[in-house]
Amino acid sequence: MIQFENVSKKFRTVTVLDKVTLNIQAGERIALVGFNGAGKTTLIRCLLGEYNHQGTILVKDQAARKQRQQILAHVGFVPQLPPPLKMPVGQLLQFAADLCHSQVERMRKIGERLGLDLDQLWNRPFVKLSGGQKQKILISIALGRDSQILIMDEPAANLDPEARRIFFSLLDECPKDTVMLISSHRLDEVAALVNRVVEMDRGQIVLDDKVADQVNLSHQLHCQIQFNRNEDAFAKALQTWQFSSDEQQLVWQGQIAGADRLRFLGMISRYAGLLAQVQLEEVQS
Amino acid sequence: MLKHLWLSAKLDIAESLRARWFLIYALVFGGIVALLFLFGLTESRVMGFTGLSRLLITYIQLCMAILPIFVLITTVRSVAGDREAGIFEYLLSLPVSLTGWYWGKLLGRFITVYLPVLLAMLAAAAWAAFKGLEIPWLQFSYYSALLLALTWCFLGIGMLLSTLARSIDIAQGLGFLVWLILLLFLDLILLGMLIQQQVQQEVIVAIALLNPMQVFRTAAMLLFDPQLVLLGPAAYVILDNFGVKGYIIWAFVYPIGFGSLCAALGYSLFKRGDLP
């Protein structure tokens, strides 16, 4: 579906992409990982037809730059940094819906599922929203239309655990042949979402690996944690995951999204010395 | 494409109406008219002009001084600023046609920049009618059209500079530099000196004809001073060669053409270059 063939990009004398070749098939969910400056954002901008480049980028046999408008009609994009748009949320949704031949109502529904009170936010300038609200609006625009390709740059970084769970469910609802390209500088943030990992370093692809362990994005895990003494920092961390505890605050329970388990385990590993028992059990959503 | 042009124009108009620069901009032009009335300019008489004609003459001279720099700075600030802030990266990831986006932005900005100037003049006419003063409609229309040409011209230059410069600072610096050069090449400053230095007449005429601010200044004065007594020698030479009618045609065609050329060049660079 997407072909990068010897794609290079230079800014003056600095080579940011160096002969990148990559083929992406329909239905692949790819984690694009690498340190800052590895070339991930430049690769995405080339794919979005925003940068001139050497080499070829074809999306469904159309050149990314020359036929950008036709290609972008099928691409949902969530940037890493929300743009500082002063326009009200309602106007942004209307503008995006008009351009993408979608309906505002469809985007609204996604936003509401993610926990946004859009009636309240409708006339507020986008730039004045919190980081999480902005991210949810941008996700609503990307998912509230017919996209065959989803390009997301750290899409869940600003979301709370509940919104992340819903976000994963929304991704799971996308047609199975949807291509997802999820960029992150941390693999643990996105590992559970993908079935292929592409790592970039200094403008080149240094790793291209298929992930055998596929996680059902809509699954949830029931988690019970017991620890040997009460610790405020741990309690606060668990409260952000909406866990509840017994009176002594020694036993905590809650649910996490299946796709979030690596991130969750990463979080509790910081308190490994306090843990007496950890139990994770898959439950039906 | 027309749908995208209009969507882009609407977006730019709404953004401008929310911006502080627009508030200041509208206040400046409205304030000028209010102040001119307040200081009793309609009561004074210069070269036989009084009432609303007198006010319009002063208004258009003030517009020449402030409109170009206002248009240049606000245009380059917002366009280059949007690019620098990452707004282009996001909005141009939507399936908007680049032609519709660029020209829509230009159209939207033109409406927001020209409208306060025109509305201030209309407000003056309404006030004059209320006071029982005669409204010189020919002069009114002529000045409105001249201001339209001037606005379009500097908007086109502003869009070109915004495309050329990748940061707000450079874009703003370039805008100021262009304005300063054009200001220096007005007849009373550099052109007067060039004539004193006995530079070739053709060179002086060419400079005066190519400077949109000089073209506007001369055309604005033509209406009340056909002999150009108030003007410096460059305009006098030009009139000898072109005549009043020829010059008036040039005063409309050239700034609009030059502004369009700059905008088209900007579009070509925008379309071919990196977008964000």
CATH code for the domain of A266: 3.30.70
Name B202's Cβ contacts closer than 8 Å, sequence gap at least 6. Answer: none
Dihedral (CA of A129, A133, A137, A138) sign? positive
Say which residue the tokens 């005549």 belong to.
B243
For strand A220-227 and strand A204-210, is the pairing parallel, antiparallel, or unpaired?
A: unpaired
For strand A196-201 and strand A29-33, is the pairing parallel, antiparallel, or unpaired?
A: parallel
Whether A52 and B94 lie within 8 Å, measured CB to CB: no
What separation in angstroms does the CA of A134 have from each of A255, B5, B203?
25, 26, 57
Q: For residues B63 and B232, which has the higher predicted lDDT (pLDDT)? A: B63
Closest B-chain CA to A71: B95
Is the pLDDT at A214 greater than 60? The verdict is no
Task: Tell me, yes or no, whether A205 and A227 share the same domain.
Answer: no
Whether B94 and A99 lie within 8 Å, measured CB to CB: yes
Closest B-chain CA to A96: B94
Q: Would the pTM count as exceeding 0.90?
A: no
For residue range A5-27, what is the model confidence (pLDDT) as tens digits?
999 999 988 999 999 999 999 99
Domain count, chain B: 1
Residue A215 lies in a domain: no
Residue A59 lies in a domain: yes
Partners of A49 on chain B (C-beta within 8 Å) are 275
Q: What is the mean pLDDT of residues A118-126?
A: 93
Partners of B89 on chain A (C-beta within 8 Å) are 45, 50, 79, 83
What is the predicted pLDDT for the residue at B3? 87
Query: Could you tell me if B43 and B140 are in contact, meaning their C-beta atoms sit under 8 angstroms apart?
Result: no
Task: Tell me, yes or no, whether A131 and A262 share the same domain.
Answer: no
Q: What is the mean pLDDT of residues B118-145?
A: 86
What is the predicted pLDDT for the residue at B233? 64
Query: Could you tell me if A279 and A261 are in contact, meaning their C-beta atoms sit under 8 angstroms apart?
Result: no
CA–CA distance, A180 with A77 (Å, rounded to integer): 10
Phi, psi of A245 (to 5 degrees): -135, 170
For residue range B27-43, what is the model confidence (pLDDT) as tens digits?
888 888 777 776 765 56
Is the pLDDT at B4 greater than 80? The verdict is yes
What is the predicted pLDDT for the residue at A280? 86
Partners of B7 on chain A (C-beta within 8 Å) are 95, 98-99
Q: What is the mean pLDDT of chain B?
A: 85
Task: Tell me, yes or no, whether A56 and A131 share the same domain.
Answer: yes
Where among A171, A191, A210 does a domain terminate?
A210
Residues of B with CB under 8 A from a CB of A: 3-4, 7, 11, 14-15, 18-19, 85-98, 272-276
For strand A62-63 and strand A54-59, is the pairing parallel, antiparallel, or unpaired?
A: antiparallel
Helix (H) or strand (E) holding A239: helix A232-240
Is the pLDDT at A285 greater than 60? The verdict is no
Q: How far is A76 from chain B (nearest CA, A)?
A: 8
Whether B94 and A96 lie within 8 Å, measured CB to CB: yes
CA–CA distance, B125 with B54 (Å, rounded to integer): 12
Residue B28: closest CA among B75, B85, B83, B71? B71
Q: How far is A48 from chain B (nearest CA, A)?
A: 6
What is the predicted pLDDT for the residue at A241? 86
The two tokens of residue B257 are 């053409």
CA–CA distance, B170 with B161 (Å, rounded to integer): 9
CA–CA distance, A211 with B20 (Å, rounded to integer): 52
Residue A160 lies in a domain: yes
Partners of B19 on chain A (C-beta within 8 Å) are 86
**Which of A17, A48, A54 is best to mutate for the B interface (most B CBs within 10 A)?**
A48
Q: What is the mean pLDDT of chain A?
A: 88
A254: containing domain:
220-283
**How many CB atoms are located within 10 Å of the residue A19 CB?**
15
A–B interface: beta-carbon pairs under 8 A: 74
What separation in angstroms does the CA of B194 have from each of A27, A149, B180, B182, B235?
71, 63, 17, 15, 13
Partners of A51 on chain B (C-beta within 8 Å) are 274-276
Domain count, chain A: 2
Q: For residues B95 and A158, which has the higher predicted lDDT (pLDDT)? A: B95
Nearest CB neighbour to A81, from listed B11, B86, B95: B86
Whether B87 and A83 lie within 8 Å, measured CB to CB: yes
Q: What is the mean pLDDT of residues A118-128?
A: 93
CA–CA distance, A171 with A209 (Å, rounded to integer): 21
CA–CA distance, A42 with A207 (Å, rounded to integer): 18
Q: What is the mean pLDDT of residues B239-252?
A: 85
Task: Tell me, yes or no, whether A206 and A75 share the same domain.
Answer: yes
Nearest CB neighbour to A84, from listed B18, B87, B93: B87
Residue A184: closest CA among A156, A203, A204, A160? A156
What is the predicted pLDDT for the residue at B212? 93
Mutual orientation of helices B201-210 and B233-272 as an angle, nearest 10°? 50
Closest B-chain CA to A86: B15
Task: Tell me, yes or no, whether A140 and A24 share the same domain.
Answer: yes
Whether A84 and B11 lie within 8 Å, measured CB to CB: no
3 state SS of B154: helix
Q: How far is B271 from chain A (nearest CA, A)?
A: 10
Phi, psi of A23 (to 5 degrees): -115, 130
Task: Tell me, yes or no, whether A22 and A40 share the same domain.
Answer: yes
DSSP one-letter string for A31-71: EEE--TTSSHHHHHHHHTT-S--EEEEEETTEETTTTHHHH
Task: Tell me, yes or no, whether A182 and A106 share the same domain.
Answer: yes
Residue A252 lies in a domain: yes
Q: What is the mean pLDDT of residues A28-49?
A: 91
Is the pLDDT at A91 greater than 90? The verdict is yes
Partners of A98 on chain B (C-beta within 8 Å) are 3, 7
What is the predicted pLDDT for the residue at A187? 74
Closest B-chain CA to A92: B11
Whether A83 and B275 lie within 8 Å, measured CB to CB: no
**Which of B10, B93, B268, B269 is best to mutate for the A interface (most A CBs within 10 A)?**
B93
Partners of B4 on chain A (C-beta within 8 Å) are 99
B215: containing domain:
2-272
Task: Tell me, yes or no, whether A189 and A128 share the same domain.
Answer: yes
For residues A185-195, b (16+ Cβ closer than 10 Å) or e, as one string? Answer: beeebbbbbbb
CA–CA distance, A172 with A20 (Å, rounded to integer): 29
What is the predicted pLDDT for the residue at A92? 94
Partners of B94 on chain A (C-beta within 8 Å) are 72, 95-96, 99-100
Q: How far is A50 from chain B (nearest CA, A)?
A: 5
Where among A210, A234, A265 does a domain terminate?
A210
pLDDT interval class at A221 (50, 70, 90): confident
Nearest CB neighbour to A99, from listed B89, B95, B272: B95
Whether B86 and A69 lie within 8 Å, measured CB to CB: no
Mutual orientation of helices A104-113 and A161-173 as an angle, nearest 10°? 130
Residue B3: closest CA among B87, B97, B88, B94? B97
For residue range B172-194, what is the model confidence (pLDDT) as tens digits?
999 999 999 898 887 667 667 77
Name B228's Cβ contacts closer than 8 Å, sequence gap at least 6. Answer: B218, B221, B222, B235, B236, B239
Task: Tell me, yes or no, whether A80 and A166 share the same domain.
Answer: yes
| Alpha-helix residue ranges (DSSP H) falling in B136-196 | 137-164, 168-184, 192-196
Residue A18 lies in a domain: yes
What is the predicted pLDDT for the residue at A194? 84
Least confident of B2-6, B42-46, B244-248, B262-266: B42-46
Query: Could you tell me if A72 and A45 are in contact, meaning their C-beta atoms sit under 8 angstroms apart?
Result: no
Whether B11 and A81 lie within 8 Å, measured CB to CB: no
Closest B-chain CA to A45: B89
Task: Tell me, yes or no, whether A130 and A176 share the same domain.
Answer: yes
CA A154, chain centre distance (Å): 5
Residue A103 lies in a domain: yes
Q: How far is B12 from chain A (nearest CA, A)?
A: 10
Task: Tell me, yes or no, whether A155 and A195 share the same domain.
Answer: yes
Where among A148, A176, A210 does a domain terminate?
A210
What is the predicted pLDDT for the residue at B263? 96
The two tokens of residue A132 are 């999480």
The two tokens of residue B96 are 């908007």
3 state SS of A225: strand
Task: Tell me, yes or no, whether A115 and A204 share the same domain.
Answer: yes
